[in-house]
Chain A
């Protein structure tokens, strides 16, 4: 009991240090930082103290590796649905999509639909099979009937690469956001996120991570609902009136920028239909595939299916998750239009050039101020910070399980590691990942990281998803096919992203038009490479191991379909 108490004290001390540093930073009066927002800081501190008490409670229940990885399998479908939704509703999607709607209107909706449509596919093809076959990580499922070592090494690589890119995007986002919202130095913000996340994961494991995620999801959904209702209330709950006002404002802005009246009218109306977001059909389809199938290959999401007691609850959790996420995207759409009508015309939120104070991603934050005043602004800022914290904790936990459960316990100890030593390795890995995340976050401060989340989705869709789907559904799949095909998908998705315009030109600074791969997302090609690789190297595989791999399918299928013999809610 004394360790969690010390943890709380240490974290409070950290906050105090942060607050002092913050005051010092504010005195320097850096231009790009916002004035210190004490309401936001107080609300965030309340959130942190509350979640640390939960961590303390969770720490008392986290005794075995099963508790650490899956909260002992005791989470209900409804709770898990909220936690999955929380993992998915990152600060990037809250601030990014509402900003995309504010800029492009309808285009923002296309983006959010892409993020949503992967969920039914996860439900129909994977959710219950994952629950019936797996124990702690998705590698348990992918390696079920195969030779453990190579498949686990692949799955751990796929997990760590996806987690790394996702983590960098979140850390850099956190640093920038907090600099703007709280008036903190970039590196201090990154260190606070890293330190708090480590506390949650180290002591509370999956139980604390899940509850932090559930609370944050509730706060985010509540806050976004209030904002959307306030916007709609101002228009007498008529979407048409809101759209009409938004078109009028966009037209006015175009006209005052010196456009001819008919051009301005056309530009104003362009927010009501698809615009420049999707330029060519190949990019459109490729991007859509990355979003749709990437969802089914994100390790920190897949891991959540093992926290529920059975297949029935696993299905319920995806239905709840899909409902909350869909609802959330409707809200962000209204918030984006609200930002057009309330923020874009209010000089309070604009800089000298007519841009948003603090950058384009601040649309939802300024709207919070416009509809709810300073207190609500503080609330939304605190929720945005909490969101990053919760997502980062989930990512770290899934990275730590890949190292401790897949690499340490299965590959190095050949399945003979005891629960205590496995738990120790996952805690050491958590600290290591936390430090790496902070260092990468600082190293990437000035980089354009906008592509990183979509890269994480593309890799998940091209490496993790094909191996998972083929191993579960295709009887002739073999160890060799899964590993070679999986690595081909992994390597090709990373390589094609590096030579795509977003990285080759925008980030690496090569001349425009020099990118070898012209499309926005590699998924259409790298997914095909992954699937064909698995198929080809399985069909060509004539080894003795391949015989056993194929022979094992019937037993695997029986368990995946019926759940008979599946890992029960362990421990309690």
Chain B
């Protein structure tokens, strides 16, 4: 890619908007994933009895829905990002490309 094209894209306010919006969203979701996963691991490391607490009269413990919840959360959070990136961010990218490549 030539320097002139790069300069035109960098000077496009829409590019700056895309960059900051997407990277902020990406990092927030990354932090959320880290908190959920390491929260779970720290519970395993420091409070085993809590995870082994029975939910009701049966044998099912708090750990079971919590563990399953981490799996579901992982899929859902990935879906949220992909949905937003494939619509909002890609639209913005297309407009930037049309603007600079005409």
Contacts and interface: CB of A to CB of B under 8 A. Distances in A.
Interface of A: 106, 109-110, 112-114, 116-117, 119-121, 123-125, 128, 239-240, 243-244, 247, 269-270, 272-275, 278, 280-281, 284-285, 288, 292, 311-312, 315-316, 318-319, 322-323, 326, 329-330, 554-555, 557-559, 561-565
Interface in B63-90: 63-64, 67-68, 70-72, 74-75, 77-79, 81-82, 85-86, 90
A555 B68 CA distance: 42
Given A244-B59, A315-B85, A562-B9, A113 B78 contact: no
A284 B44 contact: yes
Given A113-B70, A322-B78, 17 more contacts: A106-B64, A106-B67, A109-B63, A123-B81, A124-B26, A128-B85, A247-B59, A272-B61, A274-B44, A278-B45, A284-B42, A316-B82, A319-B82, A323-B78, A329-B71, A557-B19, A565-B1
A114 B41 CA distance: 9
Contacts of B18: 561-562
Contact of B30 (A120, A554, A559): A120
Of all A-B residue pairs in the complex, the 7 with the closest CB atoms, nearest first, are A273-B52, A565-B1, A281-B45, A124-B26, A284-B45, A319-B82, A109-B67
A123 B82 contact: yes
Contacts of B27: 124
Nearest to A315: B82
Contacts of A123: 78, 81-82
Contact of B63 (A124, A272, A554): A272
Contacts of B72: 326
B86 A273 contact: no
Q: Interface majority SS on A: helix, strand, loop or mixed?
A: helix
Contacts of A284: 41-42, 44-45
B24 to A, nearest CB: 11
Contacts of A555: 1, 3, 6
Contacts of B30: 120-121, 124-125
Contacts of A247: 59
B5 A564 contact: yes
A387 B63 CA distance: 31
Contacts of B71: 112-113, 116, 326, 329-330
Contacts of A117: 33, 37, 70, 74
21 contacts: A106-B64, A112-B71, A116-B74, A117-B74, A120-B30, A120-B77, A120-B78, A124-B29, A243-B59, A269-B52, A272-B59, A274-B52, A284-B42, A284-B45, A316-B86, A319-B78, A322-B74, A323-B75, A555-B1, A555-B6, A562-B9
Contact of B37 (A113, A272, A557, A565): A113
Nearest to B65: A239
A244 B58 contact: yes
A284 B40 CA distance: 11
B96 to A, nearest CB: 6
A271 B70 CA distance: 19
A557 B10 CA distance: 10
A312 B45 CA distance: 38
A292 B35 CA distance: 13
A561 B60 contact: no
B55 to A, nearest CB: 9
Q: Which has the most chain A C-beta neighbours within 10 Å: B30, B72, B74?
A: B74
Nearest to B47: A274
Nearest to A122: B78
A324 to B, nearest CB: 10
A269 B48 CA distance: 13
Contacts of B51: 106, 273-274
Contacts of B41: 110, 114, 278, 284-285, 288
B37 A281 contact: no
A119 B75 CA distance: 9
A272 B60 contact: yes
A281 B42 contact: yes
Contact of B81 (A120, A275, A329): A120
Given A113-B40, A117-B74, A119-B74, A554 B60 contact: no
B10 A554 contact: yes
Nearest to A324: B75
A558 B61 contact: no
Contacts of B82: 123, 315-316, 318-319
A274 B48 contact: yes
A137 to B, nearest CB: 21
A240 B3 CA distance: 64
A388 to B, nearest CB: 25
